[in-house]
Amino acid sequence: MVKNYDALAETIIEKVGGKSNIFQVAHCMTRLRINLKDRGLANMEEIKAIKGVLGAQWAADQLQIIIGPSVEQLYNEMLHMLPNVEAATPIQENLDKAEKKANPFSTAFTFISGCITPTLPVLVGSGLISAILALLTNFHVLSNESSTYVLLNALANAAYSYLPVMVAFAGARRLKTNEYVASFIMLALCSGAISGVADLTFLGIPLTTVKYTSNIVPALLMVPVMSLLDRVVLKVTPEALKSTLRPFLLAIIMFPLTLLVLGPIGTLVGTALANFCVWITSFGGLSMAVLSALHPLLVMVGMHTVITPLIVNEISTVGSSLLFSKALAANLAIGGAALAVGIKAKKAENRQTGISTGVTALLSVTEPALYGCLIRLKKPLISAMIASALTGIFIGIFDIRAYATASCSFLTLPIFMGGPMSNFYLACVAAVLAVILGFAVTWIIGFDED
């Protein structure tokens, strides 16, 4: 485990081309995500060789450096060394140049991922609170009519109810517009006076009934438009009046524009995405086998976050996600495969790496096992994919669903509580099955330590 984060941060900054080459830095649960002005200045081999770095690769035009669960501490150290990177200023010319290099799909994906990723800790916390409450009520430890339950349930529900507000805040910060005005607009839209209310009119114009709570797509559409408007406002507003007129103009223009246009479009898009998730998993065991087998490869190239917005939208819209259950099969199969390497390997280094990263995969995150063990030895990665596919068939047949998001492990199995208790019990069986299959297939196929 890395302890000297400031030294690690300095080394990474040096190897990616220095402070002047960085225009955006963020992190997820295990990866440091850096956007560079000139990607050619990043020395990938030297970055991968840094002590404390588990791996590195490009995802679209973003450099992703795998650190592990301690990535947030490294990120905080880097922010102190890069005081201008996260400054809330108008979009810089260099930022525009860097974004022009990316195709529209990559730009859109990077923006959506950047809006969703900062909210994941809140969603994880909310999911675990909901799961624990479900556990306590199912075993009659706590009544769902008690004040304690009502208060904790309100805390858990707030994460998804006001998720659009957090998404708007993160998106506005990413696009260098005023995040508080963006949140202000979404808070109004999520209020009981507007969200889901029928027969509303604005200046005599009938409004489409839109449920803004838990609906992240209107926020994802609203913020980019607000960012463009903000540039115009900054240019035409007199300097002495900017602090007053800027928030007023942004709010008074974007609020009705979202009510009349962006909100209804967002609802149609969000519903279509939820229906797509239902369709892609409608083939039962076959579809879940393919999705589960592909999950380790998506993690390997950093593209698993492409599906995260779909999963968040599916849970917000439908209330549960079968699509997310692929991570249960893959994560625990990876853990089982790593443990097999740890027990079967002859080299002390491989035994130590396999056992330590295998336990980490079963209890928290899989990147250390994936990069430190499976990919390096190759055959265990194939074994883990086979085990993931077989477990995915079981998940698809029994329609095992997640009711919240968290890194799938034995510690987070309560996220599969929220519907019938049989769903939770089957999720536990799937978790054990994935570990056993990951271990057994790796043991049978074997691996070449050289």
Kindly state whether residue 126 falls inside one of the protein's structural domains. Answer: no
Cα gap 21→96, rounded to integer Å: 14
397 against 101, higher pLDDT:
397
pLDDT bracket for residue 100 (50, 70, 90): very low
Does 89 score more than 50 pLDDT? no
Answer yes or no: 373 catalytic: no
Cα gap 339→442, rounded to integer Å: 9
Residues 168 and 298 in one domain: no
pLDDT at 230: 93
pLDDT at 103: 62
- The one-letter code for the residue type at 255 is F
Residue with tokens 């803004």: 212
pLDDT bracket for residue 329 (50, 70, 90): very high
Kindly state whether residue 153 falls inside one of the protein's structural domains. Answer: no
Does 354 score more than 60 pLDDT? yes
Residues 316 and 245 in one domain: no
Helix axes 147-161, 163-174, angle to 10 degrees: 40
pLDDT bracket for residue 231 (50, 70, 90): very high
Kindly state whether residue 342 falls inside one of the protein's structural domains. Answer: yes
pLDDT at 3: 58
Residues 295 and 432 in one domain: yes
pLDDT bracket for residue 393 (50, 70, 90): very high
Kindly state whether residue 105 falls inside one of the protein's structural domains. Answer: no
Residues forming a β-bridge with 25: 34
Kindly state whether residue 392 falls inside one of the protein's structural domains. Answer: yes
3-state DSSP assignment of residue 24:
strand
End residue of a domain, out of 30, 59, 86: 86
End residue of a domain, out of 253, 271, 289: 271
Helix axes 179-189, 163-174, angle to 10 degrees: 160
DSSP symbol at 402? B
Residues 79 and 188 in one domain: no
**Distance, CA of 36 to chain centre:** 21
Sign of the Cα pseudo-torsion (390, 394, 399, 405, in order): negative
Does 404 score more than 80 pLDDT? yes
- The one-letter code for the residue type at 251 is A
437 against 30, higher pLDDT:
437
pLDDT bracket for residue 86 (50, 70, 90): low
Per-residue 3-state assignment (H helix, E strand, C coil) for 39-104? HHHCCHHHHHCCCCCCEEEEECCEEEEECCCCHHHHHHHHHHHCCCCCCCCCCCHHHHHHHHCCCH
pLDDT at 305: 62
pLDDT bracket for residue 102 (50, 70, 90): low
Residues 208 and 227 in one domain: yes
pLDDT at 251: 94
pLDDT at 87: 35
DSSP labels, 328-356: HHHHHHHHHHHHHHHHH-SSHHHHHHHHH
Both tokens of 209, joined, read: 């009934």
- The one-letter code for the residue type at 426 is L
Per-residue 3-state assignment (H helix, E strand, C coil) for 126-187? HHHHHHHHHHHHHCCCCCCCCHHHHHHHHHHHHHHHCHHHHHHHHHHHHCCCCHHHHHHHHH
Residues 219 and 318 in one domain: no
Helix (H) or strand (E) holding 234: helix 217-236
Kindly state whether residue 391 falls inside one of the protein's structural domains. Answer: yes
Does 442 score more than 50 pLDDT? yes
Cα gap 134→146, rounded to integer Å: 13
Both tokens of 315, joined, read: 């849970």
Residue with tokens 């309100």: 154
Kindly state whether residue 70 falls inside one of the protein's structural domains. Answer: yes
Does 450 score more than 80 pLDDT? no
Radius of gyration of the chain (CA): 23
End residue of a domain, out of 220, 253, 271: 271
The tens digit of pLDDT for each residue in 239-258 reads 888 888 999 999 999 999 99
Residues 27 and 66 in one domain: yes
Residues forming a β-bridge with 202: 205
Domain that holds residue 373: 281-445
The tens digit of pLDDT for each residue in 359-387 reads 888 987 787 788 778 888 889 999 999 99
Cα gap 56→34, rounded to integer Å: 11
Mean pLDDT of 285-309: 79
Choose the catalytic residue: 28, 115, 190, 408.
28
Write down the H helix ranges in 378-450: 379-398, 421-445
How many domains does the structure of the chain reveal?
A: 3
Mean pLDDT of 279-286: 82
Kindly state whether residue 40 falls inside one of the protein's structural domains. Answer: yes
**Distance, CA of 46 to chain centre:** 28
pLDDT bracket for residue 95 (50, 70, 90): very low
Residues 351 and 211 in one domain: no
Q: Which residues, including other chains, have CB under 8 Å from residue 347's CB and lie 6 or more apart?
A: 449
Mean pLDDT of 40-65: 84
Does 294 score more than 50 pLDDT? yes
Residues 364 and 433 in one domain: yes
Both tokens of 96, joined, read: 């525009």
Cα gap 127→19, rounded to integer Å: 37
Cα gap 334→337, rounded to integer Å: 5
Both tokens of 166, joined, read: 């957090």
Q: What are phi and psi of 27, to 5 degrees?
A: -155, 155
Contact 47, 16 (CB under 8 A): yes
Residues 216 and 349 in one domain: no
Give which of 225, 210, 217, 309 is closest to 266, Cα–Cα.
217
pLDDT at 48: 86
Residues 266 and 322 in one domain: no
100 against 255, higher pLDDT:
255
With vertex at residue 170, the alpha carbon angle to CA 242 and CA 174, rounded to the nearest 5 degrees, is 65
CATH number of the domain where residue 77 is located: 3.30.1360.60
Does 92 score more than 60 pLDDT? no
pLDDT at 107: 76
Residues 365 and 411 in one domain: yes
Q: Count the residues in the chain.
A: 450
